[in-house]
Amino acid sequence: MTNPFTLKSWSPYAVGIGIGILSWFAFATADKHLAITLQYEHIAAMAQMVLSPGTAATNRYYAVRAQAGLEPKIGWYLMLLLGVFIGALLSSCLSGDRSRITVPALWGWRFGDSTARRFAAAFAGGAVMVLGARIAGGCTSGHGISGTLQLAVQSWTFIVLAFVAAVGIAFLFGKEGRNHV
Amino acid sequence: MFEIESAGDLMLGLITGIVFGFLLQKGQVAKYQTILGQLLLKDWTTFKIMITAIVTGSVGVYFLVERGAASLDIWPFQPAAMLIGAMLFGAGLALLGYCPGTGMAGAGEGSRDAMVGVLGMITGAGVLVVAYNILEPLALALGDWGKLTVPVLLASSSWTIIAALGLVVAVMLALLARYEPRHSRAHAGGTSIS
Q: What Cα–Cα distance (Å) separates residue B187 from each residue in A170, A180, B38, B131, B181?
A: 18, 7, 15, 41, 16
Nearest to A83 among B13, B27, B57 (CB): B13
Overall domain count for chain B: 1
Is B1 inside a domain boundary? Answer: no
pLDDT at residue B32, as a whole number: 97
Position A181 scores a pLDDT of: 82
Domain range for B84:
7-188
Q: What do you get for the CA distance between the two ends of chain B, in Å?
A: 42
Give pLDDT, residue B186: 52
Question: Do A173 and B97 form a contact (C-beta atoms < 8 A)?
Answer: no
Say yes or no to pLDDT of B187 above 60.
no
Read off the pLDDT of residues B1-23 as tens digits, 9 standing for 90 and up.
Answer: 788 999 999 999 999 999 999 99
pLDDT score, position B194: 66
Predicted confidence at residue A174, as pLDDT, reads 83
Asked if residue B22 is part of any domain, the answer here is yes
**Phi and psi at residue A101, to the nearest 5°:** -60, 135
A10: nearest Cα among A80, A94, A86 = A94
Residue B194 inside a domain? The answer is: no
Asked whether the beta carbons of B47 and A7 are under 8 A apart, the reply is no
Mean pLDDT for back-to-back runs of 10 residues, chain A (181 residues) = 91 98 97 96 96 94 94 96 98 96 94 96 98 97 97 98 98 87 82
Strand-pairing partners, residue A65, are: none
Strand intervals (E) in chain A: 73-74, 101-103
Distance CA A88, CA A51 (A): 32
The pLDDT value given to residue B185: 64
pTM of the model: 0.96
Query: Is residue B193, in this structure, part of any structural domain at all?
Result: no
Rounded CA separation A140/A155 (Å): 9
Q: Give B187's contacts in chain A (Cβ within 8 Å).
A: 105-106, 109, 180-181
Q: Is residue B134 part of a domain?
A: yes
Find the Cα–Cα–Cα–Cα dihedral A162, A165, A166, A170, rounded to 10°: 170
Query: Residue B18 is which amino acid?
Result: I
- Interface confidence, given as ipTM, is 0.96
Residue B86 lies in a domain: yes
pLDDT at B188: 58
Asked if the Cβ–Cβ distance from A136 to B113 is below 8 Å, we say no
**Closest by Cβ to B101, choosing from A17, A141, A154:** A141
Question: Are B33 and A181 within 8 A, CB to CB?
Answer: yes
Determine, for residues A49 and B96 on separate chains, whether the beta-carbon distance falls below 8 Å: no
Confidence band of B183 (pLDDT split at 50, 70, 90): confident
